[in-house]
Structure 1
Amino acid sequence: MTTIYDIAKKTGFSISTVSKVLNNYTDVGDKTRKIINDAVKEMGYYPSSSARTLSTKKSWTIGVVNVEKLGLEHPFFSGVIESFMKKVEAAGYDLLFVSDKIGNKSQTYLDHFRYRGVDGVIIVCISKDDPYMDMLIESEIPTVLIDIESRKASVVSSDNHYGSELAVNYLASLGHKKIAHISAEERLLAGAHRLEGFMQAMKKNDLHIQDGYIVSGGVFTIEGGKEAMERLLDLSEPPTAVFAAGDLMALGALMAIRERGLDVPNDISLIGFDDLQMIQYTTPALTSIKQDTALIGRTAATILLEQMNNEDEPQQHVSVKVPVSLVERDSCKKLTPVKN
């Protein structure tokens, strides 16, 4: 196995100079850096992770805490993590996904990450009621939150309020007045903000929210959306349009509508939130509010890397809202005004 000593012997540079190049120090000339990197490639050198940790005083690992129940099965979260991973891997970091146990012993997130010696943490859309989240945020470990509300750490999220406003304004422009909302659990930041945005947008459009028109679909699942839509269809006066807080819930709503022998959009207009790739291929193709998962992931990675590389400086927490947009397809219909 090739070692750092072999690289030094081949290139004629000192072991310390080779080490600086391998660890991306900036006080090495470009010519020297190229000679050493060429030798590394030629000789097939792979640095030992333990040696790297000792030399840099870092584990080169970032911890990930992700959403309860649903987790990375949801395309939104997997898209965010994929983008985040590409950014941090380019900087030399690996990801460590955690549970609440080490072996058979229950542990807090903080205990687990201290045990593993991670350099930073990203928390993706866990419940705001999670008892262990504040412990982690208030610790010495640099932390960035995605779709979680906090003044104690940096936060990256979609502009959920505005997304709901886009959805309601669009349906109102088509002549809909009886608009219902399939909400997500309010314990999740995205669910709470999309519900608030829906209610505010209805008020701005002078539209009344009828009794029973806000129904929880749970944690962004197809099953939750289907059950919520069934409750809406059981009302004595069902809505003419439904805004679901997530695309998977919108797909569940579409299933429920069809099972009742009704049609989207001729009987009920339907709009989701996420703009998942799969909804382009449903019949009809679903209108949705598009989230930029790639930008969310990259932004969170950039913020966390800056915090980890400047641990000696006071942490400046930032809150970034990533823009959303309306993607119009075939699931919403313009209503014909009723003539008196």
Structure 2
Amino acid sequence: MKKNQVTITDIAKELNVSPSTVSRALHDSPFISEERKREILDFAKKMNYRPNQLALSLLNKRTKILGVIVPEITSYYFSTAINGIQDKVGDFGYKLMISQSNESFEEEIRLMEAMSLVRVDGFLISPSSNTVDFDHIKTIKESGFPLIIFDRDCHGLDVDKVVVDDYSGAFDAVNYLVKTGCKRIAHITGSSNLSTTKHRRQGYLDALLENGLNIQDELIIFGEDSTSETGVDGMKSLFNLEKLPDAVFCYNDAIAIGAMSVIRERDILIPDQISLVGFDDEPYSTYFKPSLTSVWQPVYDLGVLSAKILLDQLNSDIDQNEYRHEILKPELVIRNSSKQL
């Protein structure tokens, strides 16, 4: 049988005092003698009394819980961002309620509604790849919940945002490939709905134009998602062309790894015949043969800064009229899958 949790009323009955007297002692009220206070506290400790956090949160109008919604929890990228968030908010006594949308727009809406019902103090959200309508986010914000969008932008939505400069990361990667002598550079994209996909594709295009290279539509392979399977299918499509690319810039490392497996199956040398560059700089990138050149993102800092801005909102009594749009800079990490300058 489950043992019931000890309450203030239980303590009051045992000590033959009123519940209000017990409550005053537990909250260190000056309106109770030190002797009586010590007696009540000692007995409460003996009975393993634990305060009702839900009742306290209703009293204080704060739950000290923040809702975090990400597309997936298990990936290195989002788990690292969550670590940054947790390290920052933990110092201020906050806990996280973490859920994943699994790239589902409908699930994202359900999660936000559920978290609002348990009255989280605020939200940190990285939208799903299928989120193209932001009415649910506007509703939550208009209901008075502080809210931060991180990693993936929601164009036209007036909220605080923290993202990485995907455009400059892609531009630098492709510019580097050109400087190493590559002229026919392909690109395998991620999901077309994502702001990150659009920004990285634009960086790729502008780097080609900046270096006087023509944009060839046949070299741009549009992926449906960001998995290794997309890299496999995309690379197979490129092998069907009459002339192979001499480099492939991939939306992320997972796609690059899929592409690498196809290249190696065809006995094509990397980087001698085809250079390969990913994006994210996942920890496993350095262990592949050859090790993967990739664009490193300051993901932990992304989480920390997102959390800091949300804490600033929570501690401010001023109505928000201006919104922060913080953009963190990535960095190209050169390894053996691309030619050296």
Query: CA offset at residue 195 of structure 1?
Result: 0.7
Which position in structure 2 is the counterpart of 1:87?
88
Give per-residue Cα distances to partners, 1:204-245, cap 9 Å, x unaligned: 111112231111233221111111111112111111001111
1:170-221 Cα distance to aligned partner (Å, 9 max, x none):
1011011100111111211111111111111111111112231111233221
Name the count of aligned residue pairs.
Answer: 304
Larger Rg: 2
* Residue pairs, 1:75-224, within 5 angstroms: 75-98=76-99, 108-127=110-129, 128-130=131-133, 132-146=136-150, 147-150=152-155, 151-224=157-230
Q: Which of the residues 279, 285, 294 maps onto 2:285?
A: 279
Residue deviations 1:45-87, cap 9 Å, x none?
A: 86542243034211111112222xxx12321111111211221
Conservation of the 8 A alpha-carbon contact between 2:73 and 2:99: no
Q: Which residue of 1 aligns with 2:37?
A: none
Query: Partner residue of 2:234?
Result: 228
User: Against the structure 1 CA distance between its residues 15 and 180, is the aligned structure 2 distance closer, same or farther, given a 3 Å change threshold?
Assistant: farther
How far apart are the structure 2 equivalents of 1:15 and 1:57?
24
* Equivalences for residues 214-293 of structure 1 within 5 A: 214-293=220-299
Is the Cα contact below 8 Å between 1:59 and 1:118 reproduced in 2?
Answer: yes
The answer to whether the 8 Å contact 1:175/1:334 transfers is: no
Q: Quote the RMSD (CA, aligned, Å).
A: 3.0
Q: 1:212 aligns to what SS in structure 2?
A: helix
TM-score, length of structure 1 as denominator length: 0.80
Give me the identity figure in percent: 32
Residues 93, 11 of structure 1: alpha-carbon distance in 2 compared, 3 angstrom cutoff: closer
Q: Aligned match of 2:325 in 303, 319, 329?
A: 319
1:53/1:154 Cα in 2 relative to 1: closer, same or farther (>3 Å)?
same
Q: Deviations over 1:255-284 (max 9, x none)?
A: 111122212112210011111111011111
**Mind listing any 5+ residue stretches in structure 2 that lack a counterpart?**
1-5, 9-19, 33-41, 102-106
Matching residue's letter, 2:201: L
Which amino acid is the alignment partner of residue 243 of structure 1?
Answer: F
Gaps of 5+ in 1: 17-38, 336-340
